[in-house]
Structure 1
Amino acid sequence: MTIHTNTFPILETNRLILRQITEKDAEDILKYLSDEEVMQYYGLEPFESIHDALEEISWYQSLQNNKTGTRWGITLKESDVVIGSCGFHNTNSEHYRTEIGFELSKEYWGKGIAREAVEAILTYGFNELNLNRIEALIEPPNQSSQKLVERLGFIREGLLRDYEFTSGKFDDLYMYSLLKKDNRHD
């Protein structure tokens, strides 16, 4: 189910509400984005201060304002605490494509929450945004994210060598894609 408030879409699943992240969520975000394991493949150093979290929230808001993406906070229905985020970035409306990203607080790993959240935004992307292609760029050692997107039907297209420079080094990334015609998440 999608609910639109102030142009930000709120998505609801069986267990989750995906909603806009605001400055009041900074402490929640700092909690999980300061964890080295959560940040291992995020492309940034673990957060050290509330200022880091507020800068991340500002980036989420700029995606929406610039129409280059949308980032949802993942919350459990019984709690309004942000336990992760997921969304689209580098959206190219001319070519009907975007990239997907997601992360989750370590205490919620292995419970199917990331999958449930990503399925909701895939459905939203294909049905509401009329996207044709959703990409996921994932570091080769990040096995759990690869397994998640593969279970959702993404196809690994190839390896992008030294594609990103993050945390002082170049990283290879696998390019995955899911096309609207292949999507099973309607």
Structure 2
Amino acid sequence: MIKDVETFPVLETNRLVLREVKKGDANSILKYMSDIEVIKYYGLEPFKTINDALSEISWYQSILNNKTGIRWGITLKGEDEVIGSCGFLNMIPQHYRTGIGYELSKSYWGKGIASEALEAVLTYGFEHLKLQRIEALIEPLNISSQKLAEKQGFIKEGLLRNYEFTCGKFDDLYMYSLLKQDFDILQKDKLSIK
């Protein structure tokens, strides 16, 4: 699915540029990943040092190198500061399946930015990576993330009980999925509304 990429794919939307995250973005990532509200459902403790942010960037690079995922930094057009990220993880090429994750600086919540970024990444996944199924694992208390996924057409399939052990506790997670044919129907519906 993810071939050897000579240049990282940059995605543009009306308001955003989604680009590769570099070491120089560590301060921006530390800023929002140290916010307890942003990181609440991320499965990690809030970041405390620049090394925490550098480790996150290193993970982004490792999933790309290992062809198991790709993570974009979210920036506003005309500004280069990373305000969040969105991308694929746990890719399973033989099944044309991947997971998706996202987070956004609290300063930008409620402005449609996460939805705009998520739609761009989903489009890339279905059109360029030829995915059939994209999954989102969301904690039951993370209502805003559930609403975001549902707005993009994800269907809640069920509850995975004690699915992950993070931050010293077992977490239940809802399994959401979006299939290629569902995505195509939603895109056609959006075009017919315009």
Q: TM-score range by the shorter chain?
A: over 0.9
- For 2:14 and 2:157, locate their aligned partners in 1 and report how far apart those are by CA, in whole Å: 32
Query: TM-score, structure 1 length as denominator?
Result: 0.96
- For 1:6 and 1:92, locate their aligned partners in 2 and report how far apart those are by CA, in whole Å: 22
Secondary structure at the aligned position of 2:9 is classed as: strand
Q: CA deviation at 1:7?
A: 3.0
Q: CA deviation at 1:146?
A: 0.0
Secondary structure at the aligned position of 1:57 is classed as: helix
Q: CA deviation at 1:8?
A: 1.1
- For 2:93 and 2:37, locate their aligned partners in 1 and report how far apart those are by CA, in whole Å: 33
Which letter does structure 1 place at the counterpart of 2:109?
W
RMSD: 1.0
Q: Do the aligned partners of 1:18 and 1:73 also contact (CA within 8 Å) in 2? A: yes
- For 1:113 and 1:23, locate their aligned partners in 2 and report how far apart those are by CA, in whole Å: 23
- For 1:100 and 1:50, locate their aligned partners in 2 and report how far apart those are by CA, in whole Å: 25
Query: Going by fraction, where is strand more abundant, 1 or 2?
Result: 1
Instruction: Report what 1:60 is aligned to.
Output: 60
Q: Provide Cα deviations, 1:3-29, integer angstroms capped at 9, x if missing partner.
A: xx8331100000000000010000000
The gaps in structure 2 that reach 5 residues or longer are 189-194
Q: Provide Cα deviations, 1:93-127, integer angstroms capped at 9, x if missing partner.
A: 00000000000000000000000000000000000
Q: CA deviation at 1:176?
A: 0.1
Matched, 1:170 2:177: no
Which letter does structure 2 place at the counterpart of 1:107?
S
Q: Do the aligned partners of 1:68 and 1:89 also contact (CA within 8 Å) in 2? A: yes
Secondary structure at the aligned position of 1:119 is classed as: helix
Aligned length: 182
Which letter does structure 1 place at the counterpart of 2:172?
D
Q: CA deviation at 1:78?
A: 1.8
- For 2:153 and 2:146, locate their aligned partners in 1 and report how far apart those are by CA, in whole Å: 11
- For 2:58 and 2:168, locate their aligned partners in 1 and report how far apart those are by CA, in whole Å: 23
Instruction: Report what 1:34 is aligned to.
Output: 34
Q: Do the aligned partners of 1:11 and 1:19 also contact (CA within 8 Å) in 2? A: yes
Moved over 2 A (4+): none
Which letter does structure 1 place at the counterpart of 2:56?
E
Q: Do the aligned partners of 1:119 and 1:185 also contact (CA within 8 Å) in 2? A: no
Q: CA deviation at 1:65?
A: 0.3
Which letter does structure 1 place at the counterpart of 2:20?
Q
Q: CA deviation at 1:73?
A: 0.1
Instruction: Report what 1:86 is aligned to.
Output: 86
Q: Do the aligned partners of 1:27 and 1:53 also contact (CA within 8 Å) in 2? A: yes
Percent identity for Structure 1 against Structure 2: 71
Query: Going by fraction, where is helix more abundant, 1 or 2?
Result: 2
Instruction: Report what 1:44 is aligned to.
Output: 44
Query: TM-score, structure 2 length as denominator?
Result: 0.92
